[in-house]
Amino acid sequence: MSTELVPWVVDRLAALRMVPVVVIDDAAHADRLADALLDGGIACAEITLRTPAGLAAIRRLSHRGDILVGAGTIVNPDDVDAAVDAGAEFLVSPGFGIEVARRARARGVALLPGVATASELQAAVAAGISSVKLFPAEALGGIVMLDALGGPFPQARFMPSGGITLEKAGGYLDHPAVFAVGGSWIAPRAQIAAGDFRAITESAARTVAILEIGVSRVDRS
């Protein structure tokens, strides 16, 4: 069973390199958030389903066409359906669940399941998923853990997330098995709620400059 039916999504994330992890409390802020990220040079966002506003925000952003929108905190098949129906183009889970993987495959959407152990990574690879999220990356040992998993699973590609700061992101991106990094420092929940989008643009621009990344438009070819 393979859930990697839309390889352009992973390729696109690999080109962008940085995936802001967003917790949003009011979907009315979604467009201004997207504008702030784009103004700073980042054309994607993982909108988590940790709040009731998550799905509505995904729905608003999916209609724009200028930003790649994913859904995070996918923990069951119903979440898959809700996120895809809202327009999410990729899904991110905190862990690996076979039923979530099967539903993602049935819906034809890219899934990046979280792995924290060799057993979870082995299960994901057996399900046909080689692009995964290492979570929580820093708590697991960070780059040391990537090195440990990369030996027995050379086909695996990772998007580390969890506890990563701008200061540490460059080290992860330099690792050959890493295709992107997820981080919450670019668009903090409190700044979104306060409407401080200038700060988010500045943070995005600083991240792009320091990490030497950033693509200004979405390419779905």
Is residue 113 reached through a cis peptide bond, with omega within 30 degrees of 0 on the bond before it?
no
Q: Which of 47, 83, 88, 84 is nearest to 182 (CA)?
A: 47
For the record, the structure tokens of 132 come out as 């995964």
Cβ atoms of 183 and 161 closer than 8 Å: yes
Judge contact between 143 and 164, C-beta under 8 A: no
Q: Which residues contact 202 (CB under 8 A, 6 or more apart)?
A: 40
d(CA 29, CA 21): 15
Q: Which of 89, 120, 133, 138 is catalytic?
A: 133
User: Among the options 4, 46, 167, 202, which is catalytic?
Assistant: 46
CB 26 within 8 A of CB 33: no
Q: 144: how many CB neighbours lie within 10 A of its CB?
A: 9
Residue 178 DSSP one-character state:
B
Residue type, 10: V
Per the annotation, the verdict on 133 as an active-site residue is yes
Q: Which residues, in sequence order, are CB contacts of 31 under 8 Å at separation 6+?
A: 60, 61, 64
Give the active site residues: 46, 133
